[in-house]
Amino acid sequence: CFTKSTVRGTIKEKPGFNPGEDAAALRKAIEGIGTTEKTLIDILTQRSNAQRQLVCKAYQDATGRTLCDDLEGDTRGDLEGILVALITPPAKFDCQEFIGAIKGAGTTESVLIELFASRSNHQIKAIQWEPKLFGYQHSSSIFPTVQILYEAGEKKWGTDESKFIDILCHRSVPQLRQTLVEYKSLSGKTLQESIEREMSGRLEDILVAIVKCVKSVPAYLAERLYKSMKGAGTTESTLTRIIVGRSEVDLQDIKAEYKKLFGTSLYSDIESETSGDFGQTLLKICGEDGK
């Protein structure tokens, strides 16, 4: 469920990679008369994150400036946001998204829910966040877990939310997958149906998100992408976070789930719902179906 492989990503390491050449091309694109956005996009979307870090180092060695500072100085808006995201190490990028969701006027709970639900314990620890939320506990039998959930929800007058929270946040993904199967067998309802029936508000949202991610992280993120484009206005920050963040993890799987769930390709929806250099950057990362 939480793969660390780059096999299912859309971005792979570029063969024959030369960080000095890339740094020189980026410098020319930035320092010339007017910024050549196409060069920035072509280079930064066709290198792995590890390769981009080497380009950043070569750029700073050659100019005495950071590539991040120069991108922020020479690009604007959503394009700036996605290019800076591309050159940010993954754990740092996630951390910045957490902080951005918490700071400012009000907490962006939907972003926090997405990040907590779709990241593995390893990834949560990597960003120095509270690891116990996804701490793994091992048990020889799944049935006591199912019984506790049933008795805390469907069988009880009123719901013992703490039992749901404890189990959904302290079991491994394989254990939770088996729990979903056994719970439906015991109660006649899916665990998601019980949560939606027994709970409300943000607690319902995060527990449902965890259940969805137990079943399929790519399907959950495909749904997030769809809603970010089909709601009232496009949520560019969500597109950037998911497309960049999953580009070397499972974006191929997200594309497949998107097509299965919504009957259209992620590429074509991005093409119709975004525009300009920002849209072109997303499309470059996403890649057309079959590519």
Q: Does 13 map to a domain?
A: no
Q: Does 204 map to a domain?
A: yes
Q: Does 94 map to a domain?
A: yes
pLDDT (tens digit, 9 = 90+) per residue, 99-134?
787 775 555 778 878 887 887 766 655 555 433 333
Q: What is the pLDDT of residue 122?
A: 60
How far apart are alpha carbons 123 and 52 in whole angstroms? 20
Whether residues 45 and 66 share a domain: the answer is yes
Whether residues 84 and 107 share a domain: the answer is no
> Of 156, 181, 197, which residue is a domain's last?
156
pLDDT (tens digit, 9 = 90+) per residue, 27-86?
999 997 767 999 999 999 999 999 999 999 999 999 999 999 999 999 999 999 999 999
Whether residues 192 and 167 share a domain: the answer is yes
Q: How many CB atoms lie within 10 A of CB 61?
A: 11
Q: What is the pLDDT of residue 32?
A: 79
Is residue 149 pLDDT above 60, yes or no?
Answer: no
Q: What is the pLDDT of residue 136?
A: 37
pLDDT (tens digit, 9 = 90+) per residue, 4-13?
444 699 999 9
Q: Does 54 map to a domain?
A: yes
> Of 119, 141, 156, which residue is a domain's last?
156
CATH code of the domain in which 69 resides: 1.10.220.10
Q: Does 239 map to a domain?
A: no
Whether residues 180 and 152 share a domain: the answer is no
Task: Tell me the H-state helices in the chain.
Answer: 19-31, 37-45, 49-63, 67-74, 77-86, 90-102, 109-118, 121-126, 143-152, 161-169, 173-187, 191-198, 201-215, 217-230, 236-245, 251-262, 266-273, 276-286
Q: What is the pLDDT of residue 206?
A: 80
Put simply, whether the predicted model's pTM sits higher than 0.85 gets the answer no
Whether residues 134 and 148 share a domain: the answer is yes
pLDDT (tens digit, 9 = 90+) per residue, 265-278?
999 999 999 999 99
Whether residues 108 and 74 share a domain: the answer is no
Supply the mean pLDDT for the chain: 82
Whether residues 85 and 62 share a domain: the answer is yes
Is residue 140 pLDDT above 60, yes or no?
Answer: no
Cα–Cα distances (Å) from 79 to 38, 75, 239, 280, 282, in that order, read: 11, 7, 12, 9, 10
Q: How many domains does the chain have?
A: 3
Q: Look up the domain containing 26 and give its range.
A: 19-89
Q: Does 257 map to a domain?
A: no
% of the chain surpassing 70 pLDDT:
80
Look at 15-24, 72-81, 205-214 and tell me which has the smallest mean pLDDT.
205-214
Burial of 32-57, coded b for 16+ CB within 10 Å and e otherwise, reads eeebbbebbbbbbbbbbbebbebbbe
Q: Does 253 map to a domain?
A: no
* Cβ 116 vs Cβ 157: under 8 Å: no
- The count of C-alpha atoms lying within 13 angstroms of the C-alpha of 129, restricted to the half-sphere facing its C-beta, is 23
Q: What is the pLDDT of residue 200?
A: 78
pLDDT (tens digit, 9 = 90+) per residue, 169-190?
777 788 888 888 888 888 888 8
Q: What is the pLDDT of residue 19?
A: 98
* Cβ 48 vs Cβ 248: under 8 Å: yes
Whether residues 135 and 179 share a domain: the answer is no
Per-residue confidence band for 2, with pLDDT thresholds at 50, 70 and 90:
very low
Q: In angstroms, how far is the first alpha carbon of the chain from the final one?
A: 23
Q: What is the pLDDT of residue 79?
A: 96
Whether residues 96 and 107 share a domain: the answer is yes
How far apart are alpha carbons 190 and 33 in whole angstroms? 60
Q: Does 5 map to a domain?
A: no
Look at 29-38, 145-154, 278-287 and tell me which has the smallest mean pLDDT.
145-154
How far apart are alpha carbons 101 and 264 in whole angstroms? 30
Q: What is the pLDDT of residue 291?
A: 54
Whether residues 162 and 113 share a domain: the answer is no
Q: What is the pLDDT of residue 157?
A: 44
Is residue 138 pLDDT above 60, yes or no?
Answer: no
Whether residues 102 and 122 share a domain: the answer is yes
Whether residues 139 and 175 share a domain: the answer is no
Q: What is the pLDDT of residue 143?
A: 39
> Of 146, 180, 215, which residue is a domain's last?
215
Q: What is the pLDDT of residue 119?
A: 75
| Mean pLDDT, residues 230-247 | 89
* Cβ 14 vs Cβ 48: under 8 Å: yes
